[in-house]
C-alpha cells in the first residue's frame, strides 16, 4: 500500500483520489476550503458525478481516504503526490498554471522523504520538466523527487467509470525507476498502460481532446451544409459510422461543445503552437466553428421572430451535457445572455444545474422543477441539453402547453416525423 496525497478536489483530483482508495491505497486529498473539506468528510461531493459520493462514503468509512487543508501533513511523508488542480484558460487562450506552481511550491517546502510528484492536471507540453526543476531548485529538505506525467482522460458525468475502467492509462517518465514505480501503482487496475516520456504524455492528452473537438466541429459543419443542400445529418452520420476508420462516436451534430476540457484545451494547444511559430489550422477552425455553432439556434429563431422583447421563452437544459452540473462553456450561457439583454422572459429547467446557474442569474430567470412548467405559455422553446427528463417530454405536450409551439432543438432529441405537426427546428435536418 502506498501513501498518496492529492492536491485539488475537483473532477481530476477528487475522482483520482477516490479511485485510488477504491483500489486499496491510502489517500489524503488536500483543498484550501475548510467548508468543502467538512462536507467531503461527511460524504458530500463538491461536484455531481455518478457513484462518486457512494465511493467517498465507502472508502472514508474504511479509512482509506481522508480530506484536509493541512498540506504540510499530507505531503511530508507521501510516496506519491498527485497534482490535480485546475488550469483555467487566460484571456489569450493560454493555460493558467498558477495553481500548479502554487502546489509545487508547497511540495518543495514540505516533503521530507523521497517521493514521486505526478502531474495529472492538463498542462502545456514541457510543463512537467519545468515543475521538476522548480521543485528541485526550491527543496527545503535533502530528498530525491521526480516528476511524472499522468494525464486524465475522464469525461464529466462518467468520471468514476472512466477512471476505474479506462481505455488506457498514460504515464510519462524520464527514468526507469520512476516508470517502474508508476507501473506498480497502477498494477491492480488491470488496464492497458502506455508508457512514454513526459512530453509525449502531455501531448497525448491535448492531441486526444483536440481530435474529439475536431470531430464534433466537423460534424456540426457538415450538419449546417446538410441544411443548405437538403441532406439529413443523422443519415449521413449513420452511413459514416460503418467505416471502422471513422467509428460511431462523436458523430452527433448539435449546438456546440462545452465543458472544462475541449474549449480550454483547443485554445491552449493553439496558443502553444503560435508561441512556437506554428499554426494549427485544424484546431483553429474547430475553435471558430464551435463559437459560431453555439448561436445556431438563436439565428434560426431570428428568422421567425423579429424581436425577443417580452416573449416567454422556455429553456430546457442548462449544463453543457447530461450527467454533470458543470456549466463551463455551456451553449445555454451564450444564448440566455443575449435573450435577457433583448428583453426576453425566461423560464428554465435543468435537473441538476440550477443551483450553479443561480450564481450567475439569481433573479433574472424563473427556474422550474419540471420541463412542463417551463413550457407553460411559452412562445418558443430552446433545447440545449439532452437530459433524459427532457427527452421524455412527449411531442404533444409542446403543443398543449406552449402558447405558440416553436421548438428549437439543439440536440436533435426528436425525430422529424414525431414533430411534424409542430414548428420544429433542429440541427442538420
DSSP 99-110: HHHHHHHHHHHH
The predicted structure's pLDDT at residue 156: 86
Residues 140 and 9 in one domain: yes
Residues 188 and 151 in one domain: yes
Residues 52 and 188 in one domain: yes
Q: What is the mean pLDDT of residues 132-150?
A: 97
What 3-state DSSP class applies to 255? coil
Residues 271 and 415 in one domain: no
Confidence grade of residue 290 (pLDDT, cut at 50, 70, 90):
very high
Number of domains in the chain: 3
Residues 66 and 92 in one domain: yes
Residue 381 annotated as catalytic: no
Residues 45 and 180 in one domain: yes
Using the 3D structure, point to which of 196, 231, 246 is the last residue of a domain.
Answer: 196
Q: Of 352, 336, 209, 181, nearest to 270 (Cα)?
A: 209
Cβ contact 99:134 at 8 Å: no
Using the 3D structure, point to which of 196, 215, 232 is the last residue of a domain.
Answer: 196
* Residues in a beta bridge with 287: none
The predicted structure's pLDDT at residue 29: 97
Cβ contact 354:389 at 8 Å: no
C-alpha 332, offset from chain centre: 15
The predicted structure's pLDDT at residue 157: 87
Residues 129 and 42 in one domain: yes
Structure confidence by residue, pLDDT tens digits, 37-67: 999 999 999 999 999 999 999 999 999 999 9
- CATH code of the domain in which 93 resides: 3.40.50.720
Structure confidence by residue, pLDDT tens digits, 97-131: 999 999 999 999 999 999 999 999 999 999 999 99
Whether the pLDDT of residue 260 is over 90: the answer is: no
Cβ contact 412:427 at 8 Å: yes
From 29, 226, 261, 381, active-site residue: 261
Query: Where on the phi/psi map is residue 413: left (φ > 0), alpha (ψ -120 to 50), or beta?
Result: alpha
The predicted structure's pLDDT at residue 393: 98
Structure confidence by residue, pLDDT tens digits, 362-372: 999 999 999 99
Kind plus residue range of the DSSP H or E element containing 381? strand 380-383
Residues 146 and 171 in one domain: yes
Domain limits at 236?
Answer: 205-290
Indicate the average pLDDT of the chain.
Answer: 96
* Residues in a beta bridge with 65: 27
Residues 225 and 325 in one domain: no
Residues 75 and 106 in one domain: yes
| C-alpha cell, 381 | 422553446
Residues 416 and 307 in one domain: yes
Structure confidence by residue, pLDDT tens digits, 195-233: 999 999 999 999 999 999 999 999 999 999 999 999 999
| C-alpha cell, 205 | 492528452
Amino acid at each position: 500500500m502506498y501513501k498518496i496525497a492529492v492536491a485539488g478536489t475537483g473532477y481530476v483530483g477528487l475522482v483520482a483520489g477516490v479511485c485510488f482508495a477504491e483500489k486499496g491505497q491510502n489517500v489524503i486529498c488536500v483543498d484550501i476550503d475548510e467548508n468543502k473539506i467538512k462536507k467531503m468528510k461527511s460524504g458530500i461531493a463538491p461536484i455531481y458525478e455518478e457513484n462518486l459520493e457512494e465511493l467517498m462514503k465507502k472508502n472514508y468509512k474504511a479509512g482509506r481516504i481522508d480530506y484536509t487543508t493541512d498540506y504540510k501533513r499530507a505531503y511530508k511523508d507521501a510516496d506519491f503526490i498527485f497534482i490535480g488542480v485546475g488550469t483555467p484558460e487566460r484571456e489569450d487562450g493560454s493555460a493558467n498554471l498558477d495553481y500548479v506552481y502554487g502546489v509545487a511550491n508547497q511540495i518543495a517546502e514540505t516533503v521530507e522523504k523521497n517521493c514521486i510528484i505526478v502531474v495529472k492536471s492538463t498542462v502545456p507540453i514541457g510543463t512537467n520538466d519545468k515543475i521538476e526543476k522548480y521543485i528541485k531548485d526550491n527543496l527545503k529538505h535533502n530528498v530525491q523527487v521526480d516528476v511524472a506525467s499522468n494525464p486524465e482522460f475522464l469525461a464529466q458525468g462518467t468520471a468514476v467509470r472512466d477512471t476505474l475502467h479506462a481505455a488506457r492509462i498514460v504515464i510519462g517518465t524520464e527514468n526507469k525507476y520512476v516508470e517502474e514505480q508508476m507501473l506498480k501503482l497502477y498494477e491492480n487496475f488491470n488496464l492497458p498502460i502506455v508508457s512514454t516520456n513526459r512530453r509525449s504524455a502531455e501531448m497525448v492528452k491535448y492531441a486526444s481532446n483536440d481530435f474529439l473537438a475536431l470531430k464534433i466541429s466537423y460534424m456540426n459543419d457538415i450538419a449546417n451544409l446538410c441544411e443548405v443542400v437538403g441532406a439529413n445529418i443523422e443519415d449521413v452520420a449513420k452511413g459514416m459510422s460503418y467505416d471502422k476508420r471513422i467509428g460511431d462516436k462523436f458523430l452527433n451534430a448539435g449546438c456546440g461543445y462545452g465543458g472544462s476540457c475541449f474549449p480550454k484545451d483547443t485554445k491552449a494547444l493553439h496558443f502553444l503552437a503560435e508561441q512556437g511559430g506554428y499554426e494549427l489550422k485544424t484546431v483553429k477552425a474547430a475553435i471558430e466553428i464551435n463559437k459560431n455553432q453555439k448561436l445556431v439556434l438563436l439565428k434560426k429563431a431570428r428568422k421567425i421572430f423579429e424581436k425577443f422583447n417580452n416573449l416567454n421563452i422556455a429553456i430546457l437544459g442548462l449544463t453543457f451535457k447530461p450527467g454533470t452540473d458543470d456549466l463551463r462553456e455551456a451553449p445555454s450561457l451564450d444564448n440566455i445572455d443575449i435573450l435577457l439583454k433583448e428583453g426576453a422572459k425566461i423560464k428554465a429547467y435543468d435537473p441538476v444545474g440550477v443551483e450553479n446557474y443561480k450564481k450567475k442569474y439569481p433573479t433574472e430567470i424563473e427556474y422550474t422543477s419540471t420541463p412542463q412548467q417551463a413550457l407553460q405559455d411559452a412562445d418558443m422553446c430552446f433545447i440545449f441539453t439532452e437530459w433524459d427528463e427532457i427527452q421524455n417530454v412527449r411531442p404533444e405536450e409542446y403543443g398543449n402547453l406552449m402558447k405558440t409551439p416553436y421548438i428549437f432543438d439543439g440536440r436533435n432529441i426528436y425525430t422529424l416525423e414525431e414533430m411534424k405537426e409542430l414548428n420544429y427546428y433542429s440541427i442538420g435536418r
